[in-house]
């Protein structure tokens, strides 16, 4: 999660909403890491989770990523939660919950409710205070500029 927080901080420095993600193989190898980048890429799907999944899939040569764990600083949205299911990620570990748009536990239960063809293990609250502070600081600074 510390690496995901680094990615989030880098995204903030670029003016992006500070969310970071790291995808790790079963043996502990980091397959990919990314920060949010929809503004710079002009791409509404360029969330940290999606970018990490894309990079890892390219690296391993398969769109399926079984046995992997995704660490992300904020609970994934519905789009990213769906991508985790499609990629067959085994486990998600996230920091802060997203009460407005959370796709895993806060608003929806994508990948947990057994309605889809894949379920994943989910652990939330890991370094949650630190992850939430990165987001709060970013938005506080943004409000002060206006």
| Residues 9 and 28: beta-carbon distance below 8 Å | no
Q: Hunting for tokens 């790790």 — which residue is that?
A: 24
| Residues 31 and 68: beta-carbon distance below 8 Å | yes
Q: Hunting for tokens 């939660």 — which residue is that?
A: 81
Q: What gap in Å lies between CA 77 and CA 61, rounded to an integer? A: 25
End-to-end Cα, the chain, rounded Å: 32
Catalytic residue numbers?
A: 49
Q: What gap in Å lies between CA 20 and CA 8, rounded to an integer? A: 4
């Amino acid at each position: 999660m510390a690496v995901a927080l680094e990615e989030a901080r880098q995204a903030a420095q670029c003016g992006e909403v500070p969310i970071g993600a790291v995808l790790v193989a079963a043996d502990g190898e980091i397959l990919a890491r990314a920060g949010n980048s929809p503004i710079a890429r002009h791409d509404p799907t360029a969330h940290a989770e999606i970018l990490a999944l894309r990079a890892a899939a390219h690296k391993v040569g398969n769109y399926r990523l079984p046995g992997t764990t995704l660490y992300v600083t904020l609970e994934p949205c519905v789009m990213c939660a769906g991508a985790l299911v499609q990629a067959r990620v085994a486990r998600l570990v996230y920091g802060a919950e997203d009460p407005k748009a959370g796709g895993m536990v806060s608003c929806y239960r994508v990948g947990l409710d057994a309605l889809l063809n894949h379920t994943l293990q989910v652990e939330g609250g890991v370094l949650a205070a630190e992850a939430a502070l990165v987001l709060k600081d970013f938005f506080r600074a943004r409000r002060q500029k206006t």
